[in-house]
Structures are given as C-alpha cells and as structure tokens.
C-alpha cells in the first residue's frame, strides 16, 4: 500500500537568538504511506522531535518553521490557521510523548481526560462520551476499564499511563500517530507490550505511525521504512531490512556495526559513536559527519553531500560522498589515510 498520507518536503525549522541561528531541522523530506510505520532514528539533538513538532504545528518560540511544505492528504499544514491545526490535531494526527505523567493532568480522573479529547459535535451526549471513553480503554487493553475510568493518573503504573495516553491520542479516529520515544521511560517487558499495542492499533484502525526511537531493536520490530537523521538532516532513508543489512552511510554503518551482531542480543539501544555531535549553529563547511567519520576524505571536509539515490535506487537515499557501507569503505580507509594524512 503505497499511497502517501503525509509528504514532508524540504522542512526547515530554526531557532533564533540574538547571536546565532540553530538549524534544528535543515531540509528534511520524507513520505509516510497509508498504514505504514516510519521510523526516525539518530542521536540526541539531531532534530527528531522538532520534525514531529513541526508537523503538528507545535514548535514554540524562539523556534520557527522557516521553509518547506507539510502535505497531509495533499493539503499543506503550514498554511492552516491555528484553529484548523487544532482540529487536525484532534481528529487526524495525534502525538504521544516519552513521559505520560507530564502530559496527563494529575487532578482529573482518567475518564474526564479522555472525554475532554473527544469531538463534542460527534459525541454529543454524556452517554455517548462515556461509552466511547470506555471503548477506548478497552481498545488499549486496560483491565477492568469501568472502574479504571474513575481513577486518577497516579493510580496507574507507567505502562498503564502510557496506554491511557494512547487512548487519548486515538480518541477521534486517528489517521496518523506520532510516537516520540513512547516507551523510553518504561521497563523492557512493558515497552514490548506498548509496542505490540501500537502495532495492533495500526492494523486495526488502519492508521500510519511515525515512530521516534533510540532502540534499534524497536526499529527492526516495528518499522517498514526508516530515516536516519544527523545534524538536522536525513543522511540515509530506506526500508528497514536494507538499513540493517546494507547500510550505506558511514553514520548508519557505525550504528549498525557497533551492535553486537546477533539478532536478539541484549544491546539494542543506539550505540554511541566516538566524537561530539556537531554544533547546529555552526556547522562545518563540508559534511557535518566528516569530523567523526572514519572514511572521510578531502571532498567530505569541503563540500556538503546531497541526499541521492544509492546506485539509482530511488527507495534508498544516502547523503555521502563515498556512499558505500562496506566494500568501498574498506578501500576508502586506506585511500583516506594516504590523502587525508597531511590535512589532519
């Protein structure tokens, strides 16, 4: 099923201060198809959350979307009014965050928080609203939903709170769910349950999901396609299988090769790569990854690479002058040492 639901084109979201401009999202383009789970990965600060916030119209000052298009069902969300965006957030696109406790109101019963999220023109009687709230708790697998509706957030465990958040996000027949590290604060078994729930809901409700995660195991389990971000840009984008088996960008390659190989191994979190992430207000002249790249050559330090199809495959995009994850990298290392030696 390859009908695009969302098309993000050349999105730019910057933060402005007196002294500098931080390019948090710097020309990001991707498509999310109907009923697909699209993953966004990359180290802390690379622009994943800002990409999602831009889609929802939730970037706060001093940040601003300064360019690009966000086509949802063909309509540019960047041209919608605040009110229209509110309606879209309520009916079409929902978001769940890492820490549900901060997003839930501790003083309100769960029932009232779900009901608050309902469209009152559709659920126009108290009975309809109550029944829908009940149905939502059942949908997300909360046991004894009748009595749970009358409870407050602190009476729920972390995993159950995240289920409540998902129920709230799903209140109005969602088409697209943005999940920003939805399980990071939860322990491993609960993480797995919440991911399975998101998978089941995606199929049952025929929705699409954008999943931000630090966990490559979750990427493998959940995502159809993945974009790897670095310094506010997508550096590689392809289907999940290709990403794991034939990574072509040195950053992806570094992520994958520092995994201890075997499937089902316990280290699944995004490995740390040597060197510091770049300063987004003062990016180097060439490729932002070059200072940390084992394979960098002269051109990498001088010219910014474009995101281009790998060997003509438009479904596999790579932003790299060298552009080969394994075979050529071996040669490139030796060559890079000869050429790059004097320059370092």
Ligand X SMILES: Nc1ncnc2c1ncn2[C@@H]1O[C@H](COP(=O)(O)OP(=O)(O)OP(=O)(O)O)[C@@H](O)[C@H]1O
The site for ligand X (CB under 6 A) is made up of 15, 22, 24, 44-50, 62-63, 280
Q: How far is the CB of 107 from Mg ion (least distance, A)?
A: 27
Identify which of residues 24 and 194 has a Cβ nearer to ligand X in the complex: 24
CA 113 – CA 188 distance, rounded (Å): 27
Angle at 313 between CA 243 and CA 41, to 5 degrees: 30
- Measure CA 323 to chain center: 24
46 versus 110: smaller Cβ distance to ligand X: 46
**Of 48 and 225, which has the nearer Cβ to ligand X?**
48
> CB under 5 A: which stretch of 32-40, 43-51, 61-69, 134-142 binds Mg ion?
43-51
**x/- contact string, 260-289, with Mg ion (CB under 5 A)?**
------------------------------
3-state SS assignment for residue 107: coil
HSE toward the beta carbon, residue 76, CA cutoff 13 A: 9
User: Which of Mg ion, ligand X, none is residue 15 near (CB under 5 to 8 Å by kind)?
Assistant: ligand X
Residue with smaller CB distance to ligand X, 62 or 275 = 62
Tell me how many residues contact Mg ion (CB under 5 A). 1
CB nearer to ligand X: give 182 or 336: 182
Q: How far is the CB of 166 from Mg ion (least distance, A)?
A: 18
- Of 177, 162, 273, 274, the closest CA to residue 222 belongs to 177
Closest contact distance (angstroms) between CB of 65 and ligand X is 13
Nearer to Mg ion, 218 or 332 (CB): 218
* Nearest one of 11, 77, 45 to 277, comparing CA atoms: 45
Q: What is the 3-state secondary structure (H, E, C) of 230-289?
A: ECCEEEEEEEHHHHHHCCCCHHHHHHHHCCCCCCCCCCCECCCCCCCCCCCCCCCCCCCC
Residue 50 Cβ vs ligand X, minimum distance, rounded to whole Å: 3
Whole-Å CA distances, 36 to 52, 81, 217: 16, 28, 18
**How far, in Å, CA of 99 to CA of 277, rounded?**
25
Q: Does the footprint of Mg ion cover residue 49 (CB under 5 A)? A: yes
Q: Of Mg ion, ligand X, none, which one sits near residue 258, judging by CB under 5 to 8 A according to partner kind?
A: none
Q: Which residues contact Mg ion by CB under 5 A?
A: 49
């Amino acid at each position: 099923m390859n009908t695009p639901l969302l098309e993000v084109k050349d999105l730019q979201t910057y933060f402005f201060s007196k002294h500098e401009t931080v390019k948090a999202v710097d020309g990001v383009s991707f498509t999310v198809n109907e009923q697909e789970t699209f993953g966004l990965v990359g180290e802390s600060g690379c622009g994943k959350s800002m990409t999602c916030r831009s889609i929802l119209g939730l970037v706060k000052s001093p940040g601003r979307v300064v360019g690009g298009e966000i086509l949802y069902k063909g309509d540019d969300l960047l041209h919608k009014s605040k009110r229209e965006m509110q309606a879209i957030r309520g009916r079409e696109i929902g978001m769940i965050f890492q820490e549900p406790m901060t997003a839930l109101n501790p003083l309100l019963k769960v029932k009232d928080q779900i009901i608050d999220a309902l469209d009152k023109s559709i659920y126009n009687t108290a009975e309809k609203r109550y029944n829908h709230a009940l149905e939502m708790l059942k949908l997300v697998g909360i046991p004894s939903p009748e009595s749970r509706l009358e409870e407050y957030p602190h009476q729920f465990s972390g995993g159950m709170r995240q289920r409540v958040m998902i129920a709230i996000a799903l209140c109005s027949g969602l088409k697209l769910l943005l999940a920003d590290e939805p399980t990071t604060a939860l322990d491993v078994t609960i993480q797995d349950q919440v991911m399975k729930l998101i998978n089941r809901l995606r199929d049952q409700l025929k929705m699409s999901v954008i999943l931000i995660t630090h966990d490559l195991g979750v990427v493998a389990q959940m995502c159809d396609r993945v974009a790897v971000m670095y310094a506010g840009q997508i550096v590689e984008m392809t289907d999940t299988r290709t990403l794991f088996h034939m990574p072509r960008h040195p950053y992806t390659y570094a992520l994958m090769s520092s995994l201890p190989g075997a499937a089902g191994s316990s280290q699944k979190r995004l490995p740390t790569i040597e060197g510091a992430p770049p300063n987004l207000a003062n990016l180097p002249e060439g490729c932002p990854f070059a200072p940390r790249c084992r394979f960098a050559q002269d051109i990498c330090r001088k010219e910014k690479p474009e995101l281009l199809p790998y060997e003509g495959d438009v479904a596999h995009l790579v932003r790299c002058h060298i552009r080969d994850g394994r075979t050529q990298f071996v040669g490139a290392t030796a060559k890079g040492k000869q050429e790059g030696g004097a320059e370092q």
